[in-house]
Structure 1
Amino acid sequence: MPVNQSVATFSDLTFASAFVVYFLALVLAIVYYVKHTAAVETTVEQNQSALVGAGSGGSAAGSGSSGVAADAPTADTEAASAAEKAESLEAKAQRFANMAQTMVFLGIVLHGTSLVLRGISASRFPFGNLYEYVSVITFGTMVVTALMITSRAIPALWPWVLTPVLALMFFGGTKLYAESAPLVPALQSMWYPIHVSTVVTGASICMLSGVGSLVFLFRSRFPKGKEPASFLGRVARPLPEAKVLDQIAYKTAIWALPIFGLGIALGAIWAESAWGRFWGWDPKETMSLVTWVLLAAYLHARAIPSFSRVFSAWINVVCLATMVFNLFFINMVTSGLHSYAGLN
């Protein structure tokens, strides 16, 4: 069927608009991050001052009650002022968090609209080349992350997720972009939407799980309440406890494993129908299996008490790296039966 170029153009515009909105959301999320860090640091300073004041008060009590009476109002006034400052900073930070969340939802709507228009323009599902595949994966990652962050109320994670998503969208929209076109003959099968949509869903969840483990490793380096005064310590302050981040990575991996595995199995069924064999050790098949095995290894290590959580998290990070490697290097450099990147 001929491609509707007008609809394809609107799809490209909404994709670009989604990128801009996500970028604005990232800026707002960073502002929230900075202001929330300032609020946390003010609270910490207030608590330290209270401890010092309590110690000074005890010494003064030993020397005379008049000293305590003179110093107490001043200490109470300073503590109240510090508490009001911390509350004010936190309220301002929360406003930026709410704005970032609103921009994210707007970006998701635009992003989804671009995919729908892309599919309508060519009368097919919108993952027929690498540009569309990257767009679908980033869209799925944003939807899953939005649901998770909204339910858990941890907006400090947005900069950690939006940064790689924007990097993927920028690379996809510039270096990997392909004009809307009908499917190549090899993809014209009933298994095409079933296999690819399942793999994309699993990969989107897997990406969030990998990012969760990466942030968990960073937070483990700087435990909650023990952050140093360095730049990295300040970056770590707004993040939730390492246990929360570990749970996010673990629970999303539980969903990613069966969905991604089902996608591989459906691909094998399609391969038998198209090529007369279920498995041929094609580069993309092989790396997809490696990614799935690493994901299974992460869940296995995570469930064994004798393995440290840091060790299992590193397995999940390697799993994320293999998925990204499979997404770009295998599609763009190697030649195989899955060479449908649409770059030529």
Structure 2
Amino acid sequence: MGVYVLAMFAHMFEWTFGSKGAVARRSVEQASLADAAAAAVPTAAAKKAKKVTVTVAAAGGGTTTLTRTALAGEGATVVTSGRGDGEQAVDGPGAAGSSERADMFGRIAISLTVLGALLNVGGVAFRGFSVMRPPWGNMYEFSCAFALTTVGAYLILLALGKNVRWLGLPAVLAAALTLGLATSVLYTDSEQLVPALHSYWLAIHVSTAIICGGAFYAAFASTAVYLARESYDKRKAAGLPNGPFKIPASVFERMPATPTLDKLSYRINAMVFPLWTFTIIAGAIWAEAAWGKYWEWDPKETWSFITWVVYAAYLHARATAGWKGRKAGYLALLAFACFLFNFYGVNIFITGKHSYAGVG
């Protein structure tokens, strides 16, 4: 947990020093100038203007495609995204901006995150060896594994070359908080499980739920950042202040564009949803083997199904009703809230056949 905390501070320094870089200082002014130029260009002339597409490298990995529309005789330049969706959307330069010091802190943060993940793996493995079973039989063990998957999802996206260094701070923050809660409130000594859990389905059913949790959190973080960036963009367009939290404008300008964040959240949720479906099916099969019935509307079963329904509604609304942006974002947040309640709320506050959390 301590290594994750150090990584969290390193990421915070990355964002702080990045605001002092030349790119970060000029980003707000350049965005305002681009908006003003776009508004000043006649629509007919804009349609006839020659377009040149350029792909540039983004800080922290990934690329950004820009379309430069030069209007002969007008002297104006309009910069829009090359996504083909008609939205002006250019990804920010990343947390570090153009600051070498901020980039150094970002690299240190990634190294510490990798080290923390390796130590996390060691802790989970040691717990498993101490009891000679899969190490996720209660809330303490599940939380330790969940912290690992939240960081693991971030590191996998980073290894795939995605521009997600901005996700580092939410990932290590969640891991540190989860491990802090696990060690201070949820900790239980190593012990064997109740007879119903002595099955190979423990390794299958619970492990897939843990993987889903880490991926769902990555999508949740992307959605939350999207909503913050989208609110900032609207307030900036209306000439309003930054909002109640007074977050510097340079922070938002270094984030990915709203279409990028929205698309990332949707893709992660769509990719993980089949695995969550399998998790519920595997749990039903295990329930039949342990208790003689596939489904009894136990609180854990009920809230797992509610979570599935809300995520299904989100994906269905995106695919058929064309929901994008804020409406879809709120639905995605509700789905993740259901997932969290299914784990913490049901296990701690509701009695049922899944009441083996080791708390109380």
Which residue does 1:62 correspond to in 2? none
Are the equivalent residues in 2 in contact too, given 1:135–1:172 (CA < 8 A)?
Answer: yes
Alignment TM-score, normalising by the size of structure 2: 0.75
Q: Equivalent residue of 2:135, what SS?
A: coil
User: In structure 2, what is the equivalent of residue 173 of structure 1?
Assistant: 183
Provide Cα deviations, 1:167-196, integer angstroms capped at 9, x if missing partner. Answer: 222111110011111222221112211111
What residue is the counterpart of 2:335 in the other structure? 319
- Which secondary structure state, in structure 2, belongs to the residue aligned with residue 337 of structure 1? coil
Contact 2:235 / 2:241 at 8 angstroms: preserved in 1? no
- Are residues 1:282 and 2:264 paired? no
Partners of 2:33 and 2:350 in 1: CA distance: 63
- What is the CA–CA distance in structure 1 between the aligned matches of 2:215 and 2:139, rounded to whole Å? 18
> What's 2:230 paired with?
220
Aligned position for 1:239 = 255
Structure 1 residues 21 and 185, CA gap change in structure 2 (3 angstroms): same
> Which of these residues, 206, 218, 221, is aligned with residue 216 of structure 2?
206
Comparing 95-104 with 193-202, greater Cα deviation is found at 193-202
2:130 maps to what in 1? Answer: 121
2:172 maps to 1:162: yes
Q: Following TM superposition, by how much is the alpha carbon of 1:146 offset from its aligned partner in structure 2, in angstroms?
A: 1.3
Name which of 254, 264, 289 aligns with 1:273. Answer: 289
1:311-340 CA-partner distances (Å, limit 9, x unpaired):
111111011111111111110111000111
Q: Which sits farther off after the overlay, 311-320 or 141-150?
A: 141-150
| Structure 2 CA distance for partners of 1:49 and 1:148, relative to 1, 3 Å | closer
Give the total of aligned pairs: 291
User: The residue matched to 1:311 in structure 2 has which SS?
Assistant: helix
> Which structure carries more strand by proportion?
2
Compared CA separation, residues 50 and 326, structure 1 to 2 (3 A): closer
Structure 1: state its 5+ residue gaps.
1-18, 52-86
Higher helix share: 1
Residue number among 21, 24, 35 corresponding to 2:6 in the alignment: 24
SS in 2 for 1:223: helix
Question: Is 1:100 equivalent to 2:109 in the alignment?
Answer: yes
Is the contact made by 2:262 and 2:324 (CA closer than 8 Å) also made in structure 1?
Answer: no
Q: Aligned-pair RMSD on alpha carbons?
A: 2.4
CA offset digits 1:244-289 (Å, max 9, x no partner): 1112211111221011110110000111111111110000111011
- Deviation, 1:165, is 2.5
**1:196 matched to 2:206:** yes
CA change 1:114–1:201 in 2 (3 A) is: same
2:274 aligned with 1:292: no
Deviation at 1:106, TM superposition (A): 0.5
